[in-house]
A and B are shown apart, each in its own frame.
Chain A
């Protein structure tokens, strides 16, 4: 997809459609100052599981694959994130290592916000903080749904490994 470089959130055309991005004007202005934007090629890894947390990434366009890994290097895809999604939010807020790996599936524009600045921004902007809480709840719902399906496959066919099915997202 041919995309024009959006340097400022203030003039972004996608903004009204995106839950997180659609902020009140004052908040948006503050956000525009703390964010940095970059273009990444397809296949770039935004953050890797187990790495110390730096901040959040927001996908302006393109998709990203979120996966987790076992000690022996086996991979399980959790889900595919789409445009407008905020990645690395949980780890950033709790200041724990990233719990998943995010790899871009398309050439994408990504906005990055450092942890310290994000926390300050959330303290100052109450309504965004509520939105963040809501997004985290969504993530959690998705994760529990995934646990349920995996557990179900497990109990039904304990002798069959379900990796092939789990990889199809």
Chain B
């Protein structure tokens, strides 16, 4: 069967196999039934913008498949990537709840399936289902936690090298690589995007990577990075 962007679209949340793994989606049956009636399943190509910072909130976007880049813009036009959102995450949540403008810009990195829920529908849904309301609170807390981490990284670390080391270590914990002595990291981002994640320039990131390779701390294999010396990377990640 032909599908948009080659995505296997999940039409119904009730039949979704990934539901159990996602904090927000794993709702009790009654709430799930309610959610099913208000959501719209949509597919977006790579590079589509779901919402823009400063725009008034239209509703929430539940990411089912693919990844989304969340960025913030400073007044002088520089972009800072806060996070790459993974499936199961709810985007635009706090703006939708509080009625203030979206505080981030969300742009798809891959072709994505996104379930959209209109603001009025979502607020009514939360009023009716207390379990869903708690899940939303939990998602918001997670986001607050990562925002605090971002502030700490930006405000309290000094060198770009330190921040890059922290980022690589964080990525090395994913996909069951955490326990390995030499973990593999899949670099899904360009040097430019990594620079935007740690608040530095593209040139600095390229220079830092060249340096890491020269010191045999990492080894590149296509878009995969093999961390050969985790201890050295950890030493770099500590604030001097």
26 contacts between A and B (CB under 8 A): A70-B152, A70-B157, A70-B239, A93-B140, A93-B141, A94-B142, A94-B145, A119-B134, A122-B130, A123-B130, A123-B131, A126-B127, A136-B94, A136-B144, A137-B93, A137-B95, A140-B103, A140-B140, A140-B143, A143-B151, A147-B147, A147-B151, A150-B151, A154-B154, A155-B199, A166-B155
Interface set of B (CB-CB < 8 Å, partner A):
72-76, 78, 80, 82, 93-95, 97-98, 100, 103-104, 126-127, 130-131, 133-134, 136-138, 140-145, 147-152, 154-158, 199-200, 238-240
- In Å, the complex CA distance between A143 and B82 comes to 12
Q: A94-B141, A133-B97, A138-B98 are contacts. A152–B76 as well, Cβ < 8 Å?
A: yes
By the criterion CB–CB under 8 Å, are B137 and A133 in contact?
yes
A-B contact count (CB 8 A): 147
Which of A5-13, A20-28, A72-80, A106-114 lies at the interface? A72-80
By the criterion CB–CB under 8 Å, are A123 and B76 in contact?
no
On chain A, the residues within 8 Å of B97 by CB distance are: 133-134, 137
Question: Is A148 an interface residue, CB under 8 A from the partner?
Answer: yes
- Beta-carbon nearest neighbor of B73 in chain A: A148
- Interface SS of chain A: helix, strand, loop or mixed? helix
Given A76-B152, A155-B199; 5 other pairs, CB 8 A cutoff: A93-B141, A126-B130, A144-B103, A147-B151, A148-B73
Question: Is A17 an interface residue, CB under 8 A from the partner?
Answer: no
On chain A, the residues within 8 Å of B199 by CB distance are: 151, 154-155
Which of B94, B130, B200 makes the CB contact (< 8 A) with A140?
Answer: B94
Q: Which 9 A-B pairs have the closest CB atoms?
A: A90-B141, A70-B156, A143-B147, A137-B94, A94-B141, A152-B74, A136-B140, A137-B98, A90-B144
Which of the listed residues B94, B97, B103, B151 has the most CB atoms from chain A within 10 Å of its own CB?
B151
By the criterion CB–CB under 8 Å, are A150 and B134 in contact?
no
Distance of B6 from chain A, by nearest CB (Å): 34
On chain A, the residues within 8 Å of B75 by CB distance are: 152
Distance of A120 from chain B, by nearest CB (Å): 11
By the criterion CB–CB under 8 Å, are B76 and A133 in contact?
no
By the criterion CB–CB under 8 Å, are B154 and A150 in contact?
yes
Binary contact track A128-169/B, C-beta < 8 Å → 1, others 0? 011011101111110111111011101110100111001000
- Beta-carbon nearest neighbor of A96 in chain B: B145
- In Å, the complex CA distance between A129 and B127 comes to 9
Question: Is A99 an interface residue, CB under 8 A from the partner?
Answer: yes
- In Å, the complex CA distance between A151 and B163 comes to 14
By the criterion CB–CB under 8 Å, are B141 and A143 in contact?
no
On chain A, the residues within 8 Å of B82 by CB distance are: 144, 147
- In Å, the complex CA distance between A144 and B80 comes to 11
- In Å, the complex CA distance between A70 and B145 comes to 15
- Beta-carbon nearest neighbor of A152 in chain B: B74
Which of A76, A91, A122, A138 makes the CB contact (< 8 A) with B155?
Answer: A76
On chain B, the residues within 8 Å of A72 by CB distance are: 238-240
By the criterion CB–CB under 8 Å, are A151 and B72 in contact?
yes
By the criterion CB–CB under 8 Å, are B141 and A136 in contact?
yes
On chain B, the residues within 8 Å of A99 by CB distance are: 144-145, 148-149
By the criterion CB–CB under 8 Å, are A126 and B145 in contact?
no
- Beta-carbon nearest neighbor of B239 in chain A: A72
- In Å, the complex CA distance between A86 and B134 comes to 17
Q: A99-B148, A123-B134, A141-B98 are contacts. A130–B126 as well, Cβ < 8 Å?
A: yes
Q: A68-B148, A76-B151, A76-B156 are contacts. A90–B140 as well, Cβ < 8 Å?
A: yes
